[in-house]
């Protein structure tokens, strides 16, 4: 009986093994195919910086949400979209944390955090930085994304293209212009192409509601990712 029992289970056992092998093979084939069908060889590594985090929440939205949370939500979505387009990515942070390595006071920890961000960007080969932030203003009327650029020559071109694409898609009617990121430590100290995106005004109730929504965050990331893709392709063609 015991033997019969075992034999009786054999086909099921074999079927399970075959299914597992099949799923594993399908998975690896699918992964290989996607990798082989990458639209182009990507030369840049995209460093995604979710602004603030941990001890530094950044601004607070009119609905009471911390900027650091919105920045992280958007940064994580951007990571997924950039990877889908075949880019390698480096995340400055993936949780609600500050990345300081020294300091006994909040002020000194914030300084250390910014230095760490610069170090990560500058130690990444062929880096292209996208720093995600949210804007705020005492008057709740103001809205629209705005792009700021770092010192490297190409940064300005990327910022202009990104600003144009935002003004023509998600921020229709906006006449905001890209600007140099004067006084922003991270942007002034990176060696590579980099932009800082103020995704919108979290002091504007209508825009804040959009910025909190999954749908709008995904659209934001699609605009950023497609712009970076177009920009890097044109750069790499010389």
User: Which residues of this protein are in contact with Zn ion, per CB under 5 A?
Assistant: 51, 58, 133
Long-range contacts of 228-232 (CB under 8 A, 24+ apart): 228/44, 228/46, 228/82, 228/87, 228/128, 228/130, 228/158, 229/39, 229/85, 229/87, 230/161, 231/157, 231/158, 231/161, 232/42, 232/43, 232/44, 232/128
Q: How far is the CB of 130 from Zn ion (least distance, A)?
A: 14
Q: How far is the CB of 51 from Zn ion (least distance, A)?
A: 4
Nearer to Zn ion, 60 or 160 (CB): 60
Question: Cβ neighbours of residue 236 under 8 Å, at least 6 residues apart?
Answer: 40, 43
Token pair of 3, please?
């033997």
Q: How far is the CB of 120 from Zn ion (least distance, A)?
A: 18
Q: How far is the CB of 72 from Zn ion (least distance, A)?
A: 12
Radius of gyration of the chain (CA): 22
Distance, in Å, from the CA atom of 144 to the CA atom of 125, rounded to the nearest integer, reads: 32
DSSP state of 169: T
Q: How far is the CB of 34 from Zn ion (least distance, A)?
A: 34
Distance, in Å, from the CA atom of 49 to the CA atom of 133, rounded to the nearest integer, reads: 9
Nearer to Zn ion, 93 or 133 (CB): 133
Nearer to Zn ion, 51 or 150 (CB): 51
Residue nearest to Zn ion (CB): 133
Q: How far is the CB of 24 from Zn ion (least distance, A)?
A: 44
Dihedral sign for Cα atoms in the order 178, 201, 50, 52: positive
Nearer to Zn ion, 77 or 133 (CB): 133
Nearer to Zn ion, 51 or 200 (CB): 51
Question: Cβ neighbours of residue 122 under 8 Å, at least 6 residues apart?
Answer: 189, 190, 191, 192
Q: How far is the CB of 32 from Zn ion (least distance, A)?
A: 40
Query: In 3-state terms, what secondary structure has residue 172?
Result: coil
Nearer to Zn ion, 51 or 53 (CB): 51
Nearer to Zn ion, 68 or 124 (CB): 68
């Amino acid at each position: 009986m015991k033997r019969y029992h075992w034999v009786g289970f054999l086909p099921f056992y074999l079927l399970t093994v075959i299914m597992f092998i099949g799923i594993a093979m399908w998975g690896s084939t699918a992964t290989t195919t996607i990798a082989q069908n990458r639209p182009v060889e990507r030369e840049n590594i995209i460093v995604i910086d979710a602004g603030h985090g941990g001890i530094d929440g950044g601004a607070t939205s009119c609905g009471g949400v911390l900027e650091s949370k919105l920045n992280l939500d958007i940064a994580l979505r951007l990571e997924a979209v950039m990877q889908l387009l075949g880019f390698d990515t480096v995340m400055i942070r993936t949780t609600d944390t500050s990345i300081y390595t020294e300091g006994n006071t909040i002020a000194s920890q914030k300084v250390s955090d910014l230095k760490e961000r610069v170090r990560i960007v500058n130690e990444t080969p062929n880096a292209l930085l996208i720093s995600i932030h949210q804007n705020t203003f005492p008057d709740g009327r103001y809205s629209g994304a705005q792009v700021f650029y770092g010192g490297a020559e190409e940064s300005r071109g990327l910022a202009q293209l990104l600003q144009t694409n935002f003004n023509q898609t998600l921020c229709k009617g906006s006449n905001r212009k890209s600007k140099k990121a004067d006084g922003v430590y991270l942007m002034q100290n990176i060696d590579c192409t980099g932009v800082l995106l103020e995704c919108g005004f979290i002091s504007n109730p209508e825009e804040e509601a959009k910025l909190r929504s999954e749908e709008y965050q995904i659209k934001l990331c699609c605009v950023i990712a497609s712009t970076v893709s177009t920009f890097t392709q044109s750069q790499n063609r010389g």
